[in-house]
Structure 1
Amino acid sequence: MDRMITPILSVIVIVAVIGYATFFYLQRKYLHEISKQQAQISSFIESSLNDELANMKEIHLSGQTRQQFEETRQSYLYSVNHRLPEISERLLELQDVCKQYHFIQVYRELKVITLKTQAAAKLENKTRAEITGLKKSNQLHRQKLHELEQRYQDLRKKLLAKNFSYGPSIDKLEENLGNLENTFDQYANFAQQGDYIQADQVLNHLEKDTDVLDNQLKQIPKLYRSQKNVYPDQLAEILSSFQQLTAQKYGFKEDLAVKVKEIQAQIGENLVDLKDLQVSVATKRDQEITGKIDQLYDQLEQEFKARRQVEKTRQQLSQFIQHARQQQHELMIELDRLSQNYSFNHHEMEAGRHLGTDLKKIENEFSVTSQQIREGLPVYSEVWLQQETQIASLQQIEKKQSEINQSIQGLWHEEQEARQAAQTFDLEIHQLHRKLAKQNLPGLPKTYLDFFLTVSDEIEQLLNDLNQIKIDLDQINKSLLDIQADLDKLTEKTNDISDSAALAEVLLQYANRYKIRYPEVAQAANQADQLFNQKFDYAASLEKIATAVDRVEPGAYKKLENQYYAQNPVKEH
C-alpha cells in the first residue's frame, strides 16, 4: 500500500509545481502588458500635443477649416480627458484581477483596451497632422498673398505703361485684371480669416487665371505689332513690287494683289480675335499669315531671277534649236540617200522622223513663248522651267542624231568589206578547183561535188546580192559568216582528197616491189586501184594499200607520208 501511495504523491507534487509555475508566468506576463498599456496612456495624456493645441488659438480659423479642425480637436480632448483616464483606472483594477488569477478575464479586457489605445494613437497622429497642415497653410497663404499682390501690381503697371502695345485687347485685359483683383480680394478674405479650405479652392482658379493673363500680356504686343505695323508694311512692299514688275512685263501665276487682299482680311480677323483675347486662335492665324507673306516674297524673287535666267539663255537656246534643226535636215537627207542603196534594219528612218517630231514640238513651244514675251506678261519661272526641259531634250536629240548618223555612215564601209570578202571567196573556190584539176584525178566523190556546188552557189548568190540596187547588209553579213564556215570546211575536204590521192599513188607505186613475193599485197593493190579509179574514194584506197604495205614492211607508210609532207609543206595540217 505504501509503495502505491508514493508515486501518486510524486505526480501530484509535479503537477502542482507545473501549475504554480504556469500561474506565475501568466501573472507576470499580463501585469507587464498592463504596465505597458498604462505607460502608453500616460504618454498620450502628457503629450506636447496639448500645448500645440493651445497655441493654435493664435492662428485664426474660420469656415469649413475651423469646423473641420474643431471636430478633430474636440475628439482628441475628449479622448485625453475622458476615455484615456477611464482606461487607466480600468487597468489599475485589472492588476487586482490578475493577482487573483482571473487570466481569461484579463486577456479579454486587455484585447479591448489595446484596440482603444490604437485608436487613440491614430487620433493623436491625425490631430498632429492637421496642426502641421494648418501651420503650413497659414504660412503658404501669407506668402501667396504677398506674391499675388506684388504680381497684380506689376500687371497693372505693365497695362498702364504700355497700353498702346495691346491695341484692341486693352479693354478686355483691364476688365480681366479687375476680375482677378476681385477674386484676389475674395481669396485674401478667406486666407486672413483662416478658412484655408475655401482659400485653396479660390487660389487654384486664381493662379490659373493669373497665368493666362500674364501670358496674354507677353504674347499680345508682338502679335498686335505684326498685325498693325509689320504685315501692312510688308504687304505694301509686296503690292508695290508686284505693280512695278507687272509694269515691266513680268507675268505671275496668280494675281498677287488678290492674295494681298486675302491676307489683309485675315489681319482684320486677327485684330477681332485679339480684341476678344482669342490669343491661341490669333497665334495660329498669325503663323498662316507669315507663311503666305513669305510665299508672296518668294514668288516675286522667283520671277525676278527667272527672267534674268531666261534672257541669259534665250539666244543660246535659239541657236541650239537652229543647230539641231540643221543636223536634223542633214540627217534626213543622208537617210533618204542611203535608203536608196541600203535596207535599214534597225528603224533608223523611223527614229530619225521621231526626232524631227520632237524637234518640231520644241520649235513650236519656243515660238509660242517668244510671242508671249513680245506681247508681255510671260510667267518667267514657267518659261525658265520650260527652257531647262528643252535644253535637256535638245541634248538628247543631238545625241541620238549622232548615233543614227554614225550607224548609217558605216554602211558603205561594210559594203566594201563585204565585196572584198566575196571576191576573196570566189578566188579561193577557184583555187580549190584548180588544185584538184592539176592532179588529173579520174573523178571526185559525189558528196564533195555536191558540197562544192553548194558553196559555189552561195558565193554566186552573195555576189548577186551585192550587185542589187538596194543592199540588205544585215543579210549579207550573215551570209558572209555562213560562207566562210562552209568554205573552211570545203578547203579541208579538198586538202583531204588531194593528200589522200597523192599518197595513194605513191603507195601503189611503192607496192610494186612486193606484188610478186606477196600475193596479199597484189590483191590489196588491185582493190586500192578500184577504189581510186572507179569509186574515187581516195582515202579508202590509201588506207587499203598502206595497211598491206605496212604488214610486209612495218613503218613504210609513215616514212613515205613524212617524205610527202616534207616536199609539200604548205599542205601540212
Structure 2
Amino acid sequence: MAPELYIVLAIILLVISVYIGVYYIKKKHYNKIDELDERKTKLQSMVPVDKANSLDRMMTTGQSKEQADKVLKEIDDVEVKRLPSVESLLFDAEQATDRYRFKQATAAQEQADAELSALEEDSNRLGQTIDELLQREEANLKKIDSIKKRYHKMRKELLAKSFSFGEAIQALEEKLGDMEHHFTSFSDLTASGDHEEAKKIVNKLDARLTEMETHMEQIPELLNTIDTVYSVEMEDVQEGYQTLLNQKYIFPEDVNMEENIQEVNQEIERMKQAINQLHLKEMDSYKTNIESTIDELFDVMEVEIKAKTQVTTLMNKLTKIFYFLANQDREFSLELDRISQSYVLFKNEEDLHKELFSHLKEQKVIVDRIDEQLEEQSIPYSEAHDLLEKAFDQLEELSRSYESLSDILYSYRTKELSIKNELEEMEQDLRDMKRYVEAKHLPGLPEEYLQLFRYTTNHLQSLSSEMARPRLNMEEVVKLYDMCEEDLNHLAEATEEIVDQALLTELTSQRLYRHKEEHPAVMETIKYSENLFIDEYDYETALKMVKEKLESIEPGAYSEVQERYNKEKAV
C-alpha cells in the first residue's frame, strides 16, 4: 500500500475520533442542561405563591406586618428576578454548547446549579416562615388558652392555701395582678393583627407563670423549714446555752455565743424578708449560713459538756500520776545516794535528777493553777482539758525519763559485775597464751612480742587494782577495760602469728632439705635461717628466706606445706 493511502486513512480516522469526542461532550452538556431545566421547573412549582397570596390578604400590623412584607418581597424577587436569571443562564449554556464553547457552557451550568441550590433552600425557608405567620394567630390563641387555665388554677390555689405562703402572699398576688395587664395587651395585639408582638406577650406570660409555680412550690417548704427546723433548733440552742450558763459554764473568748445566736436569728429574719419579696435565688446561701452556724453553736456547747467529763477524768489521773512520780523521785533519790557511795558518777546523773524534779514541780504548779481556775469557774472546760492533756503528756514523758535515769544508775553495778567476770577471763586468757607459747618449745621470743605481753599484763593489773577500790571510778574502769580488751586481742593475734611462723619455718626447711643434693645453695639458706630462728628469734625473716628458696626450686611447694600445716592445726 502506498504511503499516501496510509496518510489518508490516518486523517480519516482522526476526523472520526474528533467528531465522536465532540459529539460525546455536546451530549453530556445537553443532558446536564436538561437536568438543570427539570430542577428549575420543579422549583417553580415549589415556590409558595398561593401561601404568599393568602398572607398578603391577611390583616397584620406591627412586627407581624414587617415580617410578612419581607417574606412577600423575597417571594416576588424569586419569581421576577432569580428564576428568570436561571432561565437565562441555561439558555446561555445551550447556545455555548451549540457553538462548541464548552468552557463557557460549563461556567454557565455551574452558576445555574449554585443558584438553583440557593433557590431551593430559600423556597423551603420561605414556605416554613409563611406557614408560621399564617398559623401564628391560631398558635398564640391555643397557648394563651392554656396559660389562662394555669393562671386561674394558680389563683384558686393561692386563695385556698393563702395561709401556707405567709407574708409572701401579697407579693404573689401582685405578680398575678400584673399578668392581667399582659392578657389585655395580648387581646389588643391579636385584634390589631400584630401576632409577633402577641407571641412575645405569650412567652412572657408563660415564663412568669412558670416562675410563679416554682415560687408557690418552694415558699411553703421554705417557711415550714424556718418554723419547724430553724426556729426549733434555735430554741434548743438558746435553752441549752442558758442552762449551761446557769451551771456556771465558761465559753472560749474567741466564741461569742450571744452574738452568734443573735446573728442566726437575724439571718432567719433576713431569709423571711427575702421569701416575702420572692427573692428565692438567695435561699441556698441563707440556708447554708444558718445551718452551718447552728451546727457550730451546738458543737461549741457539746465540746464544753464533753470536756467537763474529760477534765474530771484527767484530774483523777493526774492526781495518781503525781503521787506515782513523787514516789519515783523519792526512790530515785535514795538509789542515787546509795550508788554514789559505791561509784564515782560520771554521767551527770545528779544534774539530770535536779532537772527532772524541777520539771515535775513546774507541772504541779500548772495543774494546781488550772484546778483553781476550775474552782473559780474562770476557764472553759475545753481549754482546761487541752492544758491538762498537755500536762499529762509531759508527766508521762517525765516518768519515762526517771526510768531511763534509773537504768543508768543500775547499769553501774551491772557493768562492774560484767567487767569483773571479763577480767578473770582475760587473766585466764593471758595465762593460756603463755602456756601455749611455752608448749611449742621455741628457742625464745622477739622483744617486740615480750613488750606487748608486759604491756597487756600491766594494763590487766591496773584494771584489777582499779576494781579493788572501795568507791569505783567507773569511767576509768571502763577506759582501762577497753584498753585491756584491745591489748589482749592484739596479743592473741601476735601469739598465733609467732607460733605459725616458727612451725612453718621448720616444715618448710624440711621440705627444702630434700633438694640439697641438686642445689648446693640450699644448705646455706637453711643454715642462715636457723641462725635467725635460734639466735635472734626472728621467725618472720627465717620463714621468708626458706619460703622464697623453696618456691624458686619447687614452685607451689610452700602452698602444699601451708595447707598440710593448717589441716594438722585444725585437728
TM-score, normalised to structure 2's length? 0.67
For residues 190-225 of structure 1, the C-alpha deviation after alignment (integer angstroms, 9 at most, x for no partner) is 456553432344455444444443333333333334
Asked if the contact 2:446–2:537 (Cα under 8 Å) also holds between the matched residues in 1, the reply is no
Asked if the contact 1:273–1:279 (Cα under 8 Å) also holds between the matched residues in 2, the reply is yes
Q: Secondary structure of the equivalent of 2:413?
A: helix
User: 2:238 corresponds to which residue?
Assistant: 239
Alpha-carbon shift at residue 411 of structure 1 (Å): 1.2
User: 2:222 corresponds to which residue?
Assistant: 223
Q: Secondary structure of the equivalent of 2:480?
A: helix
Asked if the contact 1:137–1:196 (Cα under 8 Å) also holds between the matched residues in 2, the reply is yes
Q: Against the structure 1 CA distance between its residues 478 and 69, is the aligned structure 2 distance closer, same or farther, given a 3 Å change threshold?
A: same
Q: Against the structure 1 CA distance between its residues 459 and 55, is the aligned structure 2 distance closer, same or farther, given a 3 Å change threshold?
A: same
Taking the aligned partners of 1:81 and 1:457, their CA distance within structure 2 comes to: 137
Taking the aligned partners of 1:425 and 1:232, their CA distance within structure 2 comes to: 89
> Aligned-residue CA RMSD in angstroms?
5.8
Quote the sequence identity (%): 23
Question: Which amino acid is the alignment partner of residue 362 of structure 1?
Answer: Q
Alpha-carbon shift at residue 484 of structure 1 (Å): 3.8
Question: Which amino acid is the alignment partner of residue 220 of structure 1?
Answer: I
Asked if the contact 2:47–2:127 (Cα under 8 Å) also holds between the matched residues in 1, the reply is no
Taking the aligned partners of 2:105 and 2:87, their CA distance within structure 1 comes to: 14
Alpha-carbon shift at residue 537 of structure 1 (Å): 5.0
Q: Secondary structure of the equivalent of 1:250?
A: coil
User: 1:248 corresponds to which residue?
Assistant: 247
1:261-280 matches, cutoff 5 A: 261-280=262-281
1:396-545 matches, cutoff 5 A: 396-422=397-423, 447=448, 450-468=451-469, 471-487=472-488, 539=537
Q: Against the structure 1 CA distance between its residues 331 and 141, is the aligned structure 2 distance closer, same or farther, given a 3 Å change threshold?
A: farther
Which has the larger displacement, 106-115 or 208-217? 106-115
Alpha-carbon shift at residue 299 of structure 1 (Å): 1.7
Taking the aligned partners of 2:160 and 2:13, their CA distance within structure 1 comes to: 103
Which has the larger displacement, 352-361 or 21-30? 21-30
User: 2:158 corresponds to which residue?
Assistant: 159
Asked if the contact 2:165–2:219 (Cα under 8 Å) also holds between the matched residues in 1, the reply is yes
TM-score, normalised to structure 1's length? 0.67
Q: Against the structure 1 CA distance between its residues 215 and 89, is the aligned structure 2 distance closer, same or farther, given a 3 Å change threshold?
A: closer
1:31-50 matches, cutoff 5 A: 49-50=48-49
User: 2:335 corresponds to which residue?
Assistant: 334
For residues 226-248 of structure 1, the C-alpha deviation after alignment (integer angstroms, 9 at most, x for no partner) is 44554333222212212212222
Aligned residues: 505
Q: Against the structure 1 CA distance between its residues 198 and 403, is the aligned structure 2 distance closer, same or farther, given a 3 Å change threshold?
A: same
Q: Against the structure 1 CA distance between its residues 473 and 135, is the aligned structure 2 distance closer, same or farther, given a 3 Å change threshold?
A: farther
Question: Which amino acid is the alignment partner of residue 175 of structure 2?
Answer: N
Alpha-carbon shift at residue 177 of structure 1 (Å): 2.7
* Unaligned runs of at least 5 residues, structure 2: 1-8, 503-526, 546-568
User: 1:311 corresponds to which residue?
Assistant: 312
Taking the aligned partners of 2:99 and 2:367, their CA distance within structure 1 comes to: 128
Mapped pair 1:298 → 2:316: no
Asked if the contact 1:44–1:80 (Cα under 8 Å) also holds between the matched residues in 2, the reply is no
* Unaligned runs of at least 5 residues, structure 1: 1-9, 502-525, 548-570
Q: Secondary structure of the equivalent of 1:284?
A: helix
Alpha-carbon shift at residue 539 of structure 1 (Å): 4.2
Alpha-carbon shift at residue 284 of structure 1 (Å): 0.9
User: 2:128 corresponds to which residue?
Assistant: 129
Question: Which amino acid is the alignment partner of residue 371 of structure 2?
Answer: S
Taking the aligned partners of 2:498 and 2:345, their CA distance within structure 1 comes to: 43
Asked if the contact 1:79–1:120 (Cα under 8 Å) also holds between the matched residues in 2, the reply is yes
Q: Against the structure 1 CA distance between its residues 193 and 400, is the aligned structure 2 distance closer, same or farther, given a 3 Å change threshold?
A: farther
Q: Against the structure 1 CA distance between its residues 284 and 191, is the aligned structure 2 distance closer, same or farther, given a 3 Å change threshold?
A: farther
Asked if the contact 2:215–2:280 (Cα under 8 Å) also holds between the matched residues in 1, the reply is yes
Alpha-carbon shift at residue 64 of structure 1 (Å): 1.9
Alpha-carbon shift at residue 368 of structure 1 (Å): 1.8
User: 1:76 corresponds to which residue?
Assistant: 75
Asked if the contact 2:189–2:198 (Cα under 8 Å) also holds between the matched residues in 1, the reply is yes
Taking the aligned partners of 1:447 and 1:375, their CA distance within structure 2 comes to: 83
Q: Against the structure 1 CA distance between its residues 351 and 90, is the aligned structure 2 distance closer, same or farther, given a 3 Å change threshold?
A: closer
Alpha-carbon shift at residue 129 of structure 1 (Å): 2.4
1:137-216 matches, cutoff 5 A: 137-138=136-137, 140-187=139-186, 189-190=188-189, 194-216=193-215
Alpha-carbon shift at residue 429 of structure 1 (Å): 6.4
Alpha-carbon shift at residue 356 of structure 1 (Å): 2.9
Asked if the contact 1:145–1:188 (Cα under 8 Å) also holds between the matched residues in 2, the reply is no
Alpha-carbon shift at residue 278 of structure 1 (Å): 3.0
